[in-house]
Amino acid sequence: MKMVIGLTDPMSSPAKSRNYPAWLTRWIPGAEIRILSHEHTSGDPCEGLDGIVLSGGVDVNPALYGMPEAAEITEKPNMERDAFESTLIARAIDRNLPLLGICRGMQLTNVVLGGTLVPDIERAGYASHSSTKDGDRHHEVIVEPGTRLASIVGVARGEVNSSHHQVVDRPGEGLRIAARSADGLIEALEWAEPDKRAFFQLVQWHPERMRAAEHPLTRLLVLRFAGALQRHITYEDHT
């Protein structure tokens, strides 16, 4: 049976938007990618899906994490997108669907679960993690030992790309830190108690466009997600 992956619309440049389905179908051949957005999706957004990838994109509305005053230093939010994806995330968690959150997808999921964000990294005293005119920055991440992420990627550290000016501050309910940057910023989150839960990984980097396509922090991440999709299909077929 064909795997059906819901992908939130990045609403970004065509080139960046194409990276997500290209990456997914490279490692999950034959998968159907269903683009999800408040503009084109009606009814139950989780209906018929075997898993969800939450893409990057515009800043999360700071009012959602109790800092409306930070709107002065963030991008203009897309409140319709925030509302649609918040509902999608809540339903996916409730239904135990495999979920992979990337950049904004990690940040919004954290907010949905009651966590907070640092609205601007540089204003908080850190070096920039934003992209430049030449493309993504690159820096090292350190994977927390004993986490689900560590068991997936099999490495203690590695170089990732970076294109964000916000970052998770306080993890949401039920989450634990799975990786940090060398300067201490949170780079990945996961369930603190993952047993009996579907695949759930949130990463701040962009695995869909990492320059080293075979790197464990992209290839093994998507392959484990693929395995979770197959398990979901098998379970649904026997219920």
CA distances from 21 to 66, 101, 232 (A): 33, 14, 20
CA-wise closest residue to 102 among 12, 165, 8, 169:
8
Say whether 206 is catalytic: yes
* Active-site residue, from 129, 165, 206, 232: 206
CA-wise closest residue to 97 among 141, 46, 140:
46
Say whether 187 is catalytic: no
Structure tokens at 79: 């409140």
Q: Give the bridge partners for 7, in sequence order.
A: 35, 53
User: What are the φ and ψ backbone dihedral angles of 46, each rounded to 5 degrees?
Assistant: -90, -10
Say whether 38 is catalytic: no
* Active-site residue, from 85, 187, 190, 208: 208
SS3 annotation, 157-190: EEEEEECCCCEECCCCCCEEEEEEECCCCEEEEE
169 touches 117 (CB < 8 A):
yes
* Active-site residue, from 103, 129, 165, 187: 103
Q: Which residues are catalytic?
A: 103, 206, 208
